[in-house]
Amino acid sequence: MSARSVDWLGLSGEHVRVLIALERSLTIRRLATESELPYATALRKLRELSGMFSLRLLLRFEKLGLLPFAVLARAEASPPPFTTLKVAAGGVESVSIFVGLVPAGYVEKFKQDAGGGIALRGLELLYWSPSSLAGGGPLNPASPDLLALPAEVTPAARAPDAIDLALLSYKLNTPFLRLSEAYRRALAAGGGLPEVSRQAAAYHWRRHILPHVVGVRAFPLDPEEPLQVFYLEGWRAHAAARALRGLPGFAFALVDRGGSLVFARLDAKQRAALYSVVRLAGVRLPLGELISEKVEHYRLHFWKSVRGKSWLYASSGHRATRPFFP
């Protein structure tokens, strides 16, 4: 998000209150309570924000057997199964960036099919922070609060069932969508799903998915500004990425041990702040600053990639006009 973006977004005080309350809310009623707004006002402001922001349901994906994963390849390749984002980016050299939600047993296959190159896991996912609107800038990457290594994860060996995955496929980027509507959309997409009652869908969600939900996140959309991508390398790369979350133009990042991949829209002042963080953290930018030339989004129909309780390495991605993940 560039310097013009706050004006371009036209955020009111009520918008900001809703954005701040999002992280603690999974229902509209809770959102109204947390933002201290009437229910109808909170709903209206959320609908207005949905045109300016991409909302995301953040989960402990490893509990579902999935791992956020990214590959930066110098060779051109078709999106492998489970790709959710492909970015053709240029800088000092051209790079194809593939990001996906990949079953843990297939990450090496995903890397190979993406063309090899640099690969990193999303042990931690970072999203834009509404507190950045206050203009405080990035944090100090040497702060003890930022230095702890991202925790290693042990992904579940078994896949969730098809009903769980159908709900997830439509709740992931529309967190406040009714469960009945999410399942209706999945049924319309085919794939042999059974008809279930509203109560059964709610039971599946409450029992199998909701325990792994962390909360709702958001990042601003700006169709006029290209995405910038920064691959940070070094033992403090995780701390640097966490520090950069304080920039208004920060969108999201995948954080691994020894490397982080940051997506942003930064103006000149924010880029200067980024390079200051890079120097303070003692990390490297081996690929320099990468600018998106073409961005492709894919929605995954997860239930089409399972057989029983096992994941299949099969494509279920469909081109989407809006971001699906991250």
Hey, is 71 helix, strand or coil?
Answer: strand
Per-residue pLDDT of 202-247, as tens digits, reads 999 999 999 999 999 999 988 788 999 999 999 999 999 999 998 9
Hey, is 182 helix, strand or coil?
Answer: helix
Give the model's pLDDT for residue 287: 94
Per-residue pLDDT of 149-195, as tens digits, reads 999 999 998 999 999 999 999 999 999 999 999 999 999 998 889 99
pLDDT, average across residues 17-31: 94
> Around 317, how many Cα atoms within 13 Å sit in the side-chain half-sphere?
26
Whether residue 71 is contained in a domain is answered as no
Whether residue 25 is contained in a domain is answered as yes
**Whether the predicted pLDDT of 8 surpasses 90:** no
Whether residue 50 is contained in a domain is answered as yes
Question: Which tokens go with 263?
Answer: 């997506």
- Give the 3-state secondary structure percentages of the chain, helix then strand then coil, rounded to 5: 35, 25, 35
Rounded Cα–Cα distance for residues 320 and 326 (Å): 13
Question: Which tokens go with 165?
Answer: 């995955």
Domain count across the chain: 1
Please provide the size of the chain in residues: 326
Whether residue 23 is contained in a domain is answered as yes
Lowest mean pLDDT among 48-57, 132-141, 263-272: 132-141
Which of 100, 103, 143, 161 has its CA nearest to residue 125? 100
Whether residue 96 is contained in a domain is answered as no
pLDDT, average across residues 111-138: 88
Task: Read off the pLDDT band of 2 (50, 70, 90).
Answer: very low
Which of 322, 325, 243 has its CA nearest to residue 68? 325
| Structural domain that includes position 41 | 5-56
Q: Where are the alpha helices (DSSP H) in 50-139?
A: 107-113
Residue 126 has a CB neighbour count (10 Å cut-off) of: 24
Whether residue 20 is contained in a domain is answered as yes
Type of residue numbered 247: L
Rounded Cα–Cα distance for residues 204 and 29 (Å): 21
Is the distance from CB of 143 to CB of 291 less than 8 angstroms?
no
**Whether the predicted pLDDT of 283 surpasses 50:** yes
pTM of the model: 0.93
In whole numbers, what is the pLDDT of the chain averaged over residues? 92
Whether residue 291 is contained in a domain is answered as no
Whether residue 298 is contained in a domain is answered as no
**Whether the predicted pLDDT of 113 surpasses 50:** yes
CA distances from 40 to 10, 54, 312 (A): 20, 21, 43
Which of 304, 14, 308, 15 has its CA nearest to residue 165? 304
**Whether the predicted pLDDT of 20 surpasses 60:** yes
Region for 43 from its dihedrals, namely left if φ exceeds 0, alpha if ψ lies in -120 to 50, beta otherwise: alpha
pLDDT, average across residues 264-289: 94
